[in-house]
Amino acid sequence: YTDGLPDQRDDNGHMFGSDSIPELLKSLYSRDAKGIVAGVQAALHAHAGVQPADDDITLLSVKFLE
């Protein structure tokens, strides 16, 4: 992900932050690559509310299959 993800602010000016991203990704582990991206997008939209993105946000998910 790019810095636009953790830097996204909510209606109160609080950043999404980097600290919550590892736990978020762990919670999405069972999903396929598209589902992981969709889950991160949903969490970001829930955080941001009506705030527009301050920066570009790029997400890439790759899931290795055994």
Going residue by residue through the chain, which has 66 residues, state the pLDDT in tens, using 9 for 90 and above.
899 999 999 999 999 999 999 999 999 999 999 999 999 999 999 999 988 888 999 999 998 877
- pLDDT attached to residue 18: 93
- pLDDT attached to residue 19: 94
Cβ-in-10-Å burial (0-12, 13-18, 19+) of 64 comes to exposed
- pLDDT attached to residue 64: 84
